């Protein structure tokens, strides 16, 4: 029996050693920013040693870097179940909850860290920052109950805003966006100059009026000879947006575009991206289309940089107006009654119809569940059925879910964005689910290509066009993000 016990101990020791080697391999991939391989080898280490809190914590961090916040939260929680004194586990769980907008849960973990490490300045800073957000949210809920809350537009006197004599930048012509203005504005932004606040407000007020008249589901018809270009996430990467227009031509009545959400956050030129897109929407309202992404929301903007960027470049009041405008962005677009485009994906339940999408009252922050949430947040998965979302919001849906939805609504396929893809696009679910992502070398570190899709009225067969990142000024991504997201991944 003793000999058997020795053999068991030796096997355990061998397993532990092998697991450590896998962890070191994963750590190396993590340093190289190859997070997918890091996750793979942390997972293999956990198969050999499933009671190691460090492995779960490390994998949690890798999941955070790939925006799989639901998985990151689960791993951090598991690490703490194994070792409730493992402080990094509390950091990881707090960061995951922050990313999901669960600020009260995050605050509880930061409180634990501060209690255990009262002299840790970084921990105390995170606790104070999170506490400030929790109080701010409580205040916002209190004033939101006021039914008579006015639009920012009502408090603006744009006509009497003065454009100073020394301002040499673009101005709207008789208050209207023109092609000449758009070209001048894009050049102005490319030189890192700021549009006059009067012009920015004019664009925002006008685009809010245009968007508010649109349905939640846009329906367009392409003639046989016509094509449309579909772009995925641009995430504040202004210089890559300019490159799309260079490669594919400026938007026009004969060169229509659809930008599929997540225009802002992360990249540090989100203002320039969104004002350019809004300007083209005003110039070509019937030929330039914008759909809402999960980052056109207050929680995301607060954490991932857009709110901070607008406050740094303009004012808090202007951010509030952006927030109002984002709530009017349509949620989905149907092309020739055959192709449905949305930012995230399909639904947590079967039976959703196009008519259901038309009925969504979208002028609000997205709810935590239901069709509006799913359109912004869900992701496809290779296996049939549905599973819990890796993001911690909505769900993941399989090829059978896609097939049933398409059959019920007499559609051919869906186009969505929302996920970084190494090649800029991915075709899954037997060609019925296409992902397109248009932010190359995402966050200056992922090394991915960007892509856009051409759809022609004659056959609606997707044509993929890839491109690589172009140089941009030395401003790092996340420069305006909440300090908890900049520093939380320790």
Report pLDDT digits (tens) over 374-417. 999 999 999 999 999 999 999 999 999 999 999 999 999 999 99
pLDDT of residue 217: 98
Q: Which of 295, 343, 418, 429 is catalytic?
A: 295
- Global pTM reads 0.93
pLDDT band at 228 (very low <50, low <70, confident <90, very high): very high
pLDDT of residue 490: 34
* Cβ 373 vs Cβ 345: under 8 Å: no
CA 448 from chain centre, in angstroms, equals: 16
* Cβ 232 vs Cβ 440: under 8 Å: no
Per-residue pLDDT, averaged over 263-273, amounts to 97
Interatomic CA distance for residues 309 and 316, integer angstroms: 10
Per-residue pLDDT, averaged over 324-350, amounts to 98
Burial 122-148 (b: 16+ CB within 10 A, else e): ebeebbebbeebeeebeeeeeeeeeee
Respond yes or no: is residue 472 known to be catalytic: no
Q: Is the pLDDT of residue 488 over 70?
A: no
pLDDT of residue 2: 46
Question: What tokens appear for 476 in the block?
Answer: 């790092």
Chain-wide mean pLDDT for the chain?
Answer: 94
pLDDT of residue 5: 54
pLDDT of residue 143: 74
Q: CA–CA distance from 62 to each of 23, 351, 417 (Å)?
A: 12, 36, 21
What is the gyration radius of the CA atoms in the chain, in angstroms? 24
Interatomic CA distance for residues 98 and 72, integer angstroms: 12
Interatomic CA distance for residues 146 and 13, integer angstroms: 64
Interatomic CA distance for residues 15 and 33, integer angstroms: 27
pLDDT of residue 231: 99
Beta bridge partners of 464: 453
Compute φ and ψ for 277, nearest 5 degrees: -65, -45
Give the count of beta carbons closer than 10 Å to the beta carbon of residue 400: 14
pLDDT of residue 101: 86
Question: What tokens appear for 44 in the block?
Answer: 């293999």
pLDDT of residue 29: 95
Interatomic CA distance for residues 360 and 215, integer angstroms: 9
Give the burial class of 420: count Cβ atoms within 10 A of its Cβ; 0-12 exposed, 13-18 middle, 19 or more buried: buried
pLDDT band at 9 (very low <50, low <70, confident <90, very high): low
Interatomic CA distance for residues 159 and 172, integer angstroms: 12
pLDDT band at 122 (very low <50, low <70, confident <90, very high): confident
Interatomic CA distance for residues 320 and 323, integer angstroms: 5
Q: Is the pLDDT of residue 487 over 50?
A: no
Per-residue pLDDT, averaged over 115-130, amounts to 91
Per-residue pLDDT, averaged over 50-75, amounts to 95
Instruction: Using a pLDDT cut of 90, give the percent of the chain over it.
Output: 87
Domains of the chain: 8-143 (1.25.40.10), 155-487 (3.60.21.10)
Q: CA–CA distance from 352 to each of 99, 177, 339 (Å)?
A: 28, 38, 16
pLDDT of residue 6: 58
Q: Is the pLDDT of residue 12 over 60?
A: no
Per-residue pLDDT, averaged over 155-163, amounts to 93
Interatomic CA distance for residues 348 and 345, integer angstroms: 10
In the Cβ-directed half-sphere of 126, how many Cα atoms lie within 13 Å?
34
pLDDT band at 249 (very low <50, low <70, confident <90, very high): very high
Report pLDDT digits (tens) over 15-27. 678 999 999 999 9
């Amino acid at each position: 029996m003793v000999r058997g016990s020795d053999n068991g101990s030796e096997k355990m020791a061998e397993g532990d050693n092998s697991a450590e080697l896998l962890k070191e391999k994963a750590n190396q991939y993590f340093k190289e920013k190859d997070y997918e391989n890091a996750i793979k080898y942390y997972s293999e280490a956990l198969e050999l040693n499933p009671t190691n809190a460090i492995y779960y914590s490390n994998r949690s961090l890798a999941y955070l870097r790939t925006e799989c916040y639901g998985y990151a939260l689960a791993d951090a929680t598991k690490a703490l179940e194994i070792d409730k004194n493992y402080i990094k586990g509390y950091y990881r769980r707090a960061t995951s909850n922050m990313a999901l907008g669960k600020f009260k849960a995050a605050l509880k973990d930061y409180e634990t860290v501060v209690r255990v490490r009262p002299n840790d300045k970084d921990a105390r800073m995170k606790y104070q920052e999170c506490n400030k957000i929790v109080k701010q949210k409580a205040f916002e809920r209190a004033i939101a109950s006021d039914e008579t809350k006015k639009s920012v537009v009502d408090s603006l006197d744009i006509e009497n805003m003065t454009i100073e004599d020394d301002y040499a930048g673009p101005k709207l012509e008789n208050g209207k966006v023109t092609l000449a203005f758009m070209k001048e504005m894009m050049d102005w932004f490319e030189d890192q100059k700021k549009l006059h606040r009067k012009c920015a407000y004019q664009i925002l007020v006008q685009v809010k009026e245009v968007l508010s008249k649109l349905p939640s589901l846009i329906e367009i018809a392409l003639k046989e000879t016509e094509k449309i270009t579909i772009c995925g996430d641009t995430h504040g990467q202004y210089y890559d947006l300019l490159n799309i227009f260079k490669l594919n031509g400026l938007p026009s009545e004969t060169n229509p575009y659809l930008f599929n959400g997540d225009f802002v956050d992360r990249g540090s030129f989100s203002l320039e991206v969104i004002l350019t897109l809004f300007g083209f929407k005003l110039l070509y309202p019937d030929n330039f289309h914008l759909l809402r992404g999960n980052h056109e929301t207050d929680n995301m903007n607060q954490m991932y940089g857009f709110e901070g960027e607008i406050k740094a470049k303009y004012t808090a009041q202007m951010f509030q107006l952006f927030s109002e405008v984002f709530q009017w962005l349509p949620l989905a677009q149907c092309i020739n009654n055959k192709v449905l485009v949305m930012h995230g994906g399909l639904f947590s339940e079967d039976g959703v119809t196009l008519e259901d999408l038309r009925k969504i009252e979208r002028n609000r922050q997205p709810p935590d569940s239901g069709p509006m949430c799913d359109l912004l947040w869900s992701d496809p998965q290779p296996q049939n059925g549905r599973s819990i979302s890796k993001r911690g919001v909505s769900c993941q849906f399989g090829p059978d879910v896609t097939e049933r939805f398409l059959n019920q609504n007499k559609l051919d396929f869906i186009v969505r964005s929302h996920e970084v893809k190494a090649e800029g696009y991915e075709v899954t679910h037997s060609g019925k689910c296409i992902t397109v992502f248009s932010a190359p070398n995402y966050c200056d570190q992922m090394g991915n290509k960007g892509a856009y899709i051409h759809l022609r009225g004659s056959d609606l067969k997707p044509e993929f066009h890839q491109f690589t990142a172009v140089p941009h000024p030395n401003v790092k991504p996340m420069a305006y993000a909440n300090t908890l997201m900049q520093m939380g991944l320790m």
